[in-house]
Amino acid sequence: MLKILATDGIESSAADKLRSMGHQVDIQFYEPEALKKAVNEYDVLIIRSATKIKADIIDASKETGKFKLVIRGGVGIDNIDKAHAEANGIAVRNTPAASSASVAELAIGHMFSIARHIGIANHTMRVGEWNKKHYEGVELGGKTLGLIGLGRIAQETAKRAEALGMTIIYNKRSGADPAFPNYTFVDMDTLYKSSDFISLHIPKQAGKDYLIGKQEIEKMKDGVFLVNTARGGLIDETALCDALDSGKVAAAALDVFKEEPTKNERVLHHPKISMTPHIGAATGEAQTRIGGEIVQIIEKFFA
């Protein structure tokens, strides 16, 4: 029997499946100091974005050596010190494919929201304003979408955007991908100056505060739309708000923030930002797929 701790929750059918296999599954959130003590009791930790498995927690687990596997239910693993974990005999896994469609649909949804003023128009109507003449938008069809990264989520986003009549350009570190001849690989400067919409699909940059700051924004088209459903901290929030104020950036959509929950008042109250609270994978379908993939990882690892 394995003892499994799901600190940030787990889909109920996955928990039931693991229990039916004879494992103990505890679902409880621990603050970091408490987790240092609890980790010694478990073979497996399942986390999402709220819990961070850093060196101090890994070192604390050495007391018993029981902890052998940490699974991030989602795409990125930047909230896990992977190198330190593996150096101490702890395997790191994630579920990269399970939430791709859900995050891609949210990215497209945010594009519609900022292109057609859906979020702010909904708000102003609820406070008694009828600003019909204020909300002239733009169509997605015929526009160029620049994708930073071309992993699974970006590919799903591109597929949907192409169906809407958008032209897809992209940049990724490994260069052009021959598997996607319909999309055009460009350097970053070309992406910035050519894109009507820019959507980020990369992990957090090691050793960098952000990917897009004042200098990068200055290279962009006037009136560009920015979308970030990837990782908080990729966009300098101060530079973004300044660019929204000046009109350089027409609008932005953020599902992720440098600090979560965000306390940035300029971001929270900016009328040109469409916001959601890190809900990219928050669909029933994605959670079911994530849960199923977690079960498979545990089965395979301890086979």
Q: How far apart are CA 261 and CA 255, in angstroms?
A: 11
What is the structure's pLDDT at 21?
97
* Residues annotated as part of the active site: 231, 260, 278
- pLDDT mean across residues, the chain: 96
What is the structure's pLDDT at 184?
98
Question: Model pTM?
Answer: 0.90
Structure tokens at 83: 């190198």
Backbone angles phi, psi at 10, to 5 degrees: -155, 145
Q: Is the pLDDT of residue 207 over 80?
A: no
Residues 83-97, mean pLDDT to the nearest whole number = 95
What is the structure's pLDDT at 189?
98
What is the structure's pLDDT at 49?
86
CB–CB of 98/71 below 8 Å? Answer: no
Contacts of 82 (CB under 8 A, 6+ apart): 92
What is the structure's pLDDT at 75?
85
Backbone angles phi, psi at 156, to 5 degrees: -65, -35
Sheet holding 197-200, edge to edge: 184-185, 167-171, 144-148, 197-200, 224-228, 249-254, 273-275
60: confidence class by pLDDT, cuts 50, 70, 90: very high
What is the structure's pLDDT at 264?
98
Q: Is the pLDDT of residue 78 over 90?
A: no
Residues 96-123, mean pLDDT to the nearest whole number = 96
| Beta strand pairing call for 184-185 and 167-171 | parallel
What is the structure's pLDDT at 182?
96
What is the structure's pLDDT at 97?
87
Contacts of 179 (CB under 8 A, 6+ apart): none
Mean pLDDT check: name the lowest of 41-50, 94-103, 201-210, 211-220. 201-210
State the CB neighbour count (10 A cutoff) for residue 40. Answer: 14
Q: Which parts of 10-99 fold into alpha helices (H)?
A: 12-20, 32-38, 55-60, 82-87
